[in-house]
Amino acid sequence: MKIYLNGQLVSKDEAKISVFDHGLLYGDGIFEGIRIYNRKVFLLEEHIERLYESAHAIRLPIPLSPAEMTKAVEETVAANELVDGYIRLVITRGSGSLGLDIRRTSDPQVIIIADKISLYPEELYEQGLKIITASTIRNHPQALSPRIKSLNYLNNILAKIEGSDAGCLEAVMLNHKGEVAECTGDNIFIVKNGVLKTPSTDAGILDGITRRAVLRLAREAKLEIMETTMTRHELYVADECFLTGSAAEVIAVVELDGRLIGDGKPGPVTKDLKSRFEKLTRE
Ligand code: PMP
């Protein structure tokens, strides 16, 4: 495996960064998770744009232009001869003192890892997931905006632990107002009476690239769409529910907190959007 580290493709063993890096010490940095389908990087432009927006929000100067970053990603994918896979693009603040002052850091680290991917077992894409609501709420947007894809994922990890303890692979997180936000690593959608609903980006969620792609597909399918506030009750009484993410793609949710959703099987709208997404990515 060849890993891109600050302009060079190095082996896994050579890919090392300082223990003084603020990415390690404080989760001070940003990242993207991107898919490779058929040797092509899926929606790379949107991921690069979100990366630079995250960087701007935390005042992290990325030492490459967006065009250079795009080229670096493509070179890393080619060097690893990946047909299908997953890219983790990480920018850390770089090493500094043990203090928080970013003025004492000077060398942001650019890391690109491209590897194979397997997130959920294949049968769960047919059966759907059983999930719970976590008691850990999503970060308050005015504390650390979920729109920033920061390296500080402890908020999500705490909710993920609750999910794992309950034997679930995902968990719903509510926001500071008690509304539905998203899952620990995925956005959430429901279908009710033929209408596709998802929490708006104002709810304190990551503006998911897969979420956007699925909304575009839903528009093509002439579905009625509502980006709105959503309560947990609406999830319980939904006809269908599914999650989206670069790693997860589109996956149905068939049970939440011990309540079956719909008839407990992936529904027709979910199946249709899932197959449209597969077509988009694989044909
Ligand atoms: N929400 C969170 C918290 C995530 O970590 C992710 C995965 N990156 C998503 C949503 C889905 O975003 P995307 O479709 O851009 O992968």
At residue 84 the predicted structure's pLDDT band, cuts being 50, 70 and 90, is: very high
What per-residue confidence (pLDDT) applies to 196? 98
Dihedral sign of CA atoms 146, 149, 150, 156 in order: positive
Asked whether the predicted pLDDT for residue 88 surpasses 90, the reply is: yes
Average pLDDT rounded to a whole number, residues 96-100 = 93
With respect to CATH, is domain 2-115 assigned 3.30.470.10?
yes
What per-residue confidence (pLDDT) applies to 221? 98
What per-residue confidence (pLDDT) applies to 211? 98
Q: Which residue has the tokens 């509304």?
A: 179
| Alpha helices in 29-168, H assignment, sequence order | 44-57, 66-79, 122-127, 154-165
Q: Is 159 in the pocket of ligand 1 (CB under 6 A)?
A: no
Distance in angstroms (rounded) separating the CA atoms of residues 21 and 5: 14
Could you tell me what percent of the chain has a pLDDT over 70?
A: 100
Whether the CB-CB separation of 171 and 134 falls below 8 Å is answered with: yes
| Catalytic residue numbers, as ranges | 149
Query: How far, in Å, from the CA of 184 to the mean position of ligand 1?
Result: 8
- Give the tens place of pLDDT for each residue, 32-58: 999 999 999 999 999 999 999 999 999
Looking at the DSSP bridge assignments, the partners of residue 255 are 130, 260
At residue 189 the predicted structure's pLDDT band, cuts being 50, 70 and 90, is: very high
212's tokens: 């956007």
Share the mean pLDDT of the chain.
97
Least confident of 102-106, 107-111, 215-219: 102-106
26's tokens: 């404080």
State in Å, rounded, how far the first CA of the chain is from the last one.
27
32's tokens: 């993207």
The interface predicted TM-score of the complex, written ipTM, equals 0.99
27's tokens: 């989760």
Asked whether the predicted pLDDT for residue 212 surpasses 90, the reply is: yes
Half-sphere exposure in the Cβ direction for 100 (13 Å, CA): 2
At residue 119 the predicted structure's pLDDT band, cuts being 50, 70 and 90, is: confident
Q: Is 0.90 topped by the overall pTM? A: yes
What per-residue confidence (pLDDT) applies to 105? 94
- Give the tens place of pLDDT for each residue, 229-264: 999 999 999 999 999 999 999 999 999 999 999 999
Q: Is 139 in the pocket of ligand 1 (CB under 6 A)?
A: no
Dihedral sign of CA atoms 25, 30, 36, 39 in order: negative
Angle at 245 between CA 276 and CA 165, to 5 degrees: 130
What per-residue confidence (pLDDT) applies to 118? 78
Q: Is 209 in the pocket of ligand 1 (CB under 6 A)?
A: yes
Average pLDDT rounded to a whole number, residues 203-227 = 98
Query: How far, in Å, from the CA of 97 to the mean position of ligand 1?
Result: 31
What per-residue confidence (pLDDT) applies to 64? 98
- Give the tens place of pLDDT for each residue, 5-17: 999 999 999 999 9
CATH number, span 122-282: 3.20.10.10
Query: How far, in Å, from the CA of 167 to the mean position of ligand 1?
Result: 21
What per-residue confidence (pLDDT) applies to 58? 98
Average pLDDT rounded to a whole number, residues 147-153 = 98
Q: Which of 270, 272, 252, 254 has the alpha carbon at shortest distance from 262? A: 254
What per-residue confidence (pLDDT) applies to 283? 74
Query: What is the domain partition of the chain in residue ranges?
Result: 2-115, 122-282
